[in-house]
Structures are given as structure tokens and as C-alpha cells.
A and B are shown apart, each in its own frame.
Chain A
Amino acid sequence: MLANLRQVFRYRALISSLVARELKARYRGSVLGFFWTFANPLLLLGIYTFVFTVVMPGSRGGTRLEPYALFLLCGILPWTWFQTSVMESCSVLVAGGNLIRKVLFPAEILPIVTVLTGLVNFALSLLILAGFLAYYARPVSVGELAWLPIIVFVQLTFTLALSLLLSSLTVHFRDLRDLVGNLMTLWFWGTPIIYSMSQAPERFHRLLELNPLTHLMVAYQSVLFLEGPFDAWPALLGLGVLSLALLAVGYFVFDRLRDTLAEEV
């Protein structure tokens, strides 16, 4: 397993080229190119903002989530990264089957590239967020922003763990992808993205806290939106440790299934 990890490291130049290729190939041949990556989160942003501020203005219970669009964006952007990476990982090995069967090539590179491509898109989408922050003239503390790379790293680890696990398992269970697709909807609503933790009834807090993404979203929202110091960092670091453990498990499973991949995809 360690030897395989070293090999993945050796292929880092390939990984970065593949990420660049994914980005280029996606934007080539489309009129709006780059825009499409953000079309979906921006559409969601527009819809939710309209529904919750115009259609049902009372539904937010008079909390201080103003401006709501900015609050939403803090959750929707990282969610988009997470969701697209996990969903694409479910099919990436089957789609790249030709490579796995015909070229000597560590298969884990494919899900890793998927997640990293998502990361680059996420980083670019942060520019949109920065634009919103500037537009609303929100004060952002530099000390809090220093947490941002750590939050991103925790999300990266967690996403990578799930992607490795799911990508290798979907080769054997093709319907896992449909299952994951549906679970994603549930997961979205079970995570404080369009509502804040403080709006959720107290008795659900424990349940919400079982959801690893809750801690990530709370961290993003505290650092980028809410005022006051970021005091939820112990939960974030806890999630970080958990994610690393999960990554080890995910990689272990992938490694065990590795030899069956070339025969099954």
C-alpha cells in the first residue's frame, strides 16, 4: 500500500496535467465555457434567494442572515465541489476503463484527478464569493481567513476518502451511483446550507452534528459570513482527523479491489 502511495506521488506531474486537461476539455467547444461550472450553483443561489426572501420572507424566522444570498453562497459553493466530485467519482473508473485495461497506470489517479479538478473549480468560484463580499462591503477578519485553507484541506481529505471508496465499489455495484445520487439530495437538505445551524430546532442539533458536512459548512459560514470569532475549530479539527482515518480506509478498500478493476470495468 505504501509502495502504491509512493507511486501516486511519482505520478504527480501526470495528475496536474490531467487536471489541466479536464478543465480545458470542459471549457473548449462551449460558448460560455468557464461559466457553465458556476451556472448551477448560481442558479440555485438565485432560486433559493428568491424563494426565501421574496416568496416566503417570513420563513427564516427573523434571523440575522443578511444578506441571504451571501450566506447561501458560502454553503453552496463547497457543496457543489463535494457533490460533483463524489458523483463523478462514481463513474470515473468505468469511463476510464480503457486506460485501466490497456495501460499500466495507477487507477486511483482517476478519482484523485476528479476531486482535484473540483478543487480548482471551487477555488475559482471563490472569486465570485469575493466579488459578493466586496459588493456587500462585508468586513472579513484576516485572522479568520487564515482558517480557510485548513477548512478546504479537511474537505479535500473527506471528499477524496469518499471518492476512492465509491469509485472502486461502483465498479462492482453499478447501481451504487443511483443510490448515491438520491442520497445526495437527502444530504443536501440535512446539511445547514440554505438554513443556518441556529435556525434548526435545538432537538435536531445532535442529529445534524453527526453529519460531517455540517461542521465544514459551519466553518465556512463562520469564517466568511458570520461575525464574531470562529470558535467551532475543535469540531473542524476533529473532522480533519476523522477524514484522514476515512481516507486510509478508502485507500485500503481501493487497494484491495485494485486487481479486480482491470477485469471488471
Chain B
Amino acid sequence: MHAIEVRDVRKIYRRYGRRKSFGTLKSALLSGGVLRHLRPDSKFLALDGVNLDVEAGRTLGIIGRNGSGKSSLLKLIAGIGKPTSGTVRVSGRVSALIELGAGFHPEISGRENVFINGMMLGLSKAEIARRFDDIVAFAELGQFIDEPVKTYSSGMYMRLGFAVAINVDPDVLLVDEVLAVGDEGFTHKCLEKFAEFRRRGKTIVLVTHTLDLVTRFCDEALWLDGGKVCGSGDPKRVVDAYLLEVANSENRTSTEAVPEPGPQPGSNGAGRWGSREAEIEQVELVRADGQAAHVFESGHPMRIRVRVRAPQPLHDFVFGIGIFTADGVCCFGTNTHIEGSVPHELSGSGDFTVDIDRLDLVAGAYRLDVAVHRQDGVPYDYHRLLYSFRVASPLKDTGIYRPRHRWTFGGGVEMSGPSGGQP
């Protein structure tokens, strides 16, 4: 039983008004023809033949760059707007967390806003009355519920909006990046609520840039790019493919670009900069068997092989690497200067290799910095988060670092099965 069925959906946004951001009747009359003015001037294909099935009770994460059509797809599923062609079918009650507290009126009390907002989301007055206490409790508003909403802090405002939307008790919950705006406590609370939804067999669709959330939380992932489905299925696989593509395209665009001093804004902090007095020409990740690879077993060796070139001989240079998680936590960073290597000369082509004997990281997606710079830090060529790799492990342990470890049991403890954390 599919909770959501999307078939061959195309969505074309129309833009009106040639020069101005919005049209005026005067300009329509002057340029002749009101009807012509109502016709679009340019079209923008936001979704192009998207197919999607989500089974009831599954959690789907939608990822992709900004402008790839994620939110458009979510809005179509929510029923805000219709597809230009194709069909969207959703069974059950839908609640969309697109903007928390959209439609709150600042002048009236939280209580009244809860009722109106709830009715907008499709609840009856009696249903809201029944859930009212839950809503107030979740929002942690207490006495404030009878104060005008304009006096609320932004946290209270968001919590109340979330509480109302979540208490609609939808069969299908659509979430658009709302978690990105809250503080730690709020995000934690939301995630708990989502987990409860999953346990109760509800369907959740999550649009997010937090890839970690997709791999940890979702049963499936969908990767959109330019309005098309680029990948779907197992979240880890899709996220990896996505990261790889992001890294590659960053690489492509940055090598085409004229080198500029200072960091160039990338979509996720990735980028390339430097004076290019020395250049990183190639970065390869190699497994123990000598094969270039993208996926590495946890606890197995990984070799980073880098080809560099300096057109003019250099005497002041440092090579560095850094390993980061998908959401940007530094796992390890080092360079030749820190480790005491003294540079003598770099001229023409050369290479360096970093051998990691045991890649003791938990399963997940990681990204890599590779850089060559002066000892005072001025970059020759800095590749920030441009490379990605994945660590695979049969064990579902959590965290980042996976030290080699052993369990032993004694006394009255009896355990069977593998006694070590060896993968």
C-alpha cells in the first residue's frame, strides 16, 4: 500500500512581467492586451518527470542542491499547487511543516491562534479542544498561552507552530528543513516526535540538507538534481553518490574558474583557492589491494595519493590533509609541518602519499581536505572538502571514531558471540 504515489510529475513555474518583478495593469494596457500579460513570459522547469512511491510507514529523505526541486516536490505532495502534468496521489491526512506558525496572528492570544491554525490544517474545533493540552505541553508555553503571540520569543513561536502541526495527527507528515532553524533542544524534541511517528507507522517525508539525518533516520532517500531524480533507494548509497557528485562538480567548476585568493563560497563550504604556485593535480584514494576506491572497510587501510606540480621551484611548502564527517566535524587533520618534515624543494611534478594503516572510523560518509600551502598558512592550492569517501561496516555502532577494542566478561557474566569489535 503506497501512501504517496507521484507519477511523471512535471512542474513548470511561470514568470510574469518582463522587466518588473510584478506586473501592473497600466503596463499591460500600454503594451497592449491584458490577456497577453496574463500569459507567462518565461518558464522554469522545476520538476521534470519525477516518479516516486513511498510505502505507508516509511520515512523518505529528499536531498539535493538548492533549487533542485525538493521543496517544489514537497509542496505538490502537500497539495499546495498542482503539477503541470502528471499525478500526485496521497492517501490519508497530510500535514506539512513548511513554515512553522505560518498564519499566526500577532495580536491575538496563543490559544486563539492554536484553534485557527488547527482549523487551517484541517482539524475541527472539537478535535483541537481535545488536543489542546498536549499542544500547550509540547510547546512548553504554560501561562503564556493566553498572551498575544507577538509577545512570544521566536523559540516559543516555533514550538507552538510545530506543536499544532504535529498534533494534526497526520498519516503523512511532510517536513521542509524546519529543523535547521531551531536550537539544540528543539531539534532534539522534534526528532523524538518524528521517531514516535515512525513507531506508530506513519509516513514521513523529510527535505533536508543535513545528510547525516538522512542516513541515520530515513528508510529511503531520493536525490533530486535539476528537477530530475538522480538516485533513490538506500539512504547511505544515495547520500554517497550525492556527495561524490557535489565534490566532482565543485572540482569541475573550481578548476575552470580563475584562481582567486580567499575562500570561494560553495554550497556546503567546499571550494578551492590559492595562488597556484603549486597545484594539486590529482587526489586518489586507494584500498589495500591498490585499487582506487570510494568505499573503505572500517579498520582497513586507506592510502591517499596526491600528485602535485610546481611550475617554479618552491622552498617553502607544507602538505596537509583533513578528514571530515558529512556534516563538517573534523575527525583528523595533520600536515607535514606539524609532523616535523622540513621542506627543501618542490619543482616540477611530484607526489606524496599518506598511508592510514587502520581507518578506525564508524560507517558513514566522509569528506577530505587536501592542501599545499606556505608554512605561514598562505595557500598555494587548497582543496576544501572536495573529495569524499565512505566507510562501510557490518556493525551499526555510532559516533565517529571506532578504536580497536575488545569486550571481556568475567564472574557471573556469560555472553556468547563475537567478543571483539572487529569488523
A176 to B94, CA, bound (A): 36
Query: Is A175 touching B94 in the complex (CB atoms < 8 A)?
Result: no
Size of the A side of the interface (Cβ < 8 Å), in residues, is: 28
In the complex, whether B99 has a CB less than 8 A from a CB of chain A is yes
In the complex, whether A205 has a CB less than 8 A from a CB of chain B is no
19 contacts between A and B (CB under 8 A): A17-B115, A21-B112, A28-B107, A28-B148, A98-B102, A103-B102, A103-B103, A104-B78, A104-B94, A105-B120, A172-B22, A172-B37, A173-B24, A259-B82, A262-B75, A262-B80, A263-B13, A263-B81, A264-B22
Given contacts A24-B108, A103-B80, A172-B37, contact A14 B119 (CB under 8 A): yes
Q: Which residues of A16-64 are within 8 A (CB) of B?
A: 17-18, 21, 24-25, 28-29
Give the residue of B25, B38, B99, B116 whose beta carbon is less than 8 angstroms from that of A102: B99
Shortest CB-to-CB span from B125 to chain A, Å, is: 6
Give the residue of A25, A103, A262 whose beta carbon is less than 8 angstroms from that of B105: A25
Given contacts A104-B78, A173-B28, contact A17 B22 (CB under 8 A): no
Q: CB-nearest residue of chain A relative to B176?
A: A102
Query: Is B80 touching A18 in the complex (CB atoms < 8 A)?
Result: no
Q: List 16 other contacts, CB 8 Å, given A102-B103, A104-B121, A104-B122.
A: A13-B124, A17-B116, A17-B125, A25-B108, A28-B148, A98-B103, A99-B120, A102-B96, A102-B99, A104-B96, A172-B37, A173-B24, A175-B24, A263-B14, A263-B81, A264-B22
A260 to B23, CA, bound (A): 13
Shortest CB-to-CB span from B98 to chain A, Å, is: 5
Which residues of A lie under 8 Å from residue B99 when comparing CB positions? 98, 102
Q: CB-nearest residue of chain B relative to A28?
A: B107
Which residues of B lie under 8 Å from residue A101 when comparing CB positions? 80
Give the residue of B23, B81, B116, B124 whose beta carbon is less than 8 angstroms from that of A18: B116
Shortest CB-to-CB span from B378 to chain A, Å, is: 47
Which residues of A lie under 8 Å from residue B115 when comparing CB positions? 17
Q: Contact flags (1/0) for B145-164 with A, using CB distance below 8 Å?
A: 00010000000000000000
B binding-site residues for A, Cβ under 8 Å: 13-14, 16, 22-26, 28, 37-38, 75, 78-82, 94, 96, 98-99, 102-103, 105, 107-108, 112, 115-116, 119-122, 124-125, 148
Which residues of B lie under 8 Å from residue A25 when comparing CB positions? 105, 107-108
Which residues of B lie under 8 Å from residue A104 when comparing CB positions? 78-80, 94, 96, 121-122
Given contacts A103-B96, A172-B38, A259-B82, contact A11 B119 (CB under 8 A): yes
In order of increasing CB-CB distance, the 6 nearest A-B pairs are A173-B25, A102-B102, A14-B119, A25-B107, A175-B24, A102-B99
Q: CB-nearest residue of chain B relative to A20?
A: B112
Which residues of A lie under 8 Å from residue B38 when comparing CB positions? 172
Query: Is A262 touching B102 in the complex (CB atoms < 8 A)?
Result: no
Query: Is B25 touching A179 in the complex (CB atoms < 8 A)?
Result: yes
Which residues of A lie under 8 Å from residue B116 when comparing CB positions? 14, 17-18, 21
Shortest CB-to-CB span from A173 to chain B, Å, is: 4
Which residues of A lie under 8 Å from residue B119 when comparing CB positions? 11, 13-14, 17
Q: Contact flags (1/0) for A169-182 with B, using CB distance below 8 Å?
A: 00011111001000
A binding-site residues for B, Cβ under 8 Å: 11, 13-14, 17-18, 21, 24-25, 28-29, 98-99, 101-105, 172-176, 179, 259-260, 262-264
Query: Is B80 touching A173 in the complex (CB atoms < 8 A)?
Result: no
Query: Is B26 touching A175 in the complex (CB atoms < 8 A)?
Result: yes
A25 to B24, CA, bound (A): 31
Query: Is B125 touching A172 in the complex (CB atoms < 8 A)?
Result: no
Which residues of A lie under 8 Å from residue B16 when comparing CB positions? 172, 264
A144 to B103, CA, bound (A): 43
A103 to B81, CA, bound (A): 10
A71 to B224, CA, bound (A): 67
Which residues of A lie under 8 Å from residue B80 when comparing CB positions? 101-104, 262
Query: Is A102 touching B107 in the complex (CB atoms < 8 A)?
Result: no
Which residues of B lie under 8 Å from residue A99 when comparing CB positions? 102-103, 120
- With a 10 A CB-CB cut-off, give which of B13, B96, B120 has the most chain A CB atoms: B120
Query: Is B107 touching A29 in the complex (CB atoms < 8 A)?
Result: yes
Which residues of B lie under 8 Å from residue A179 when comparing CB positions? 25
Query: Is B22 touching A102 in the complex (CB atoms < 8 A)?
Result: no
Given contacts A104-B78, A260-B14, A264-B16, contact A21 B26 (CB under 8 A): no
Shortest CB-to-CB span from A113 to chain B, Å, is: 11
A103 to B119, CA, bound (A): 11
Which residues of A lie under 8 Å from residue B94 when comparing CB positions? 104
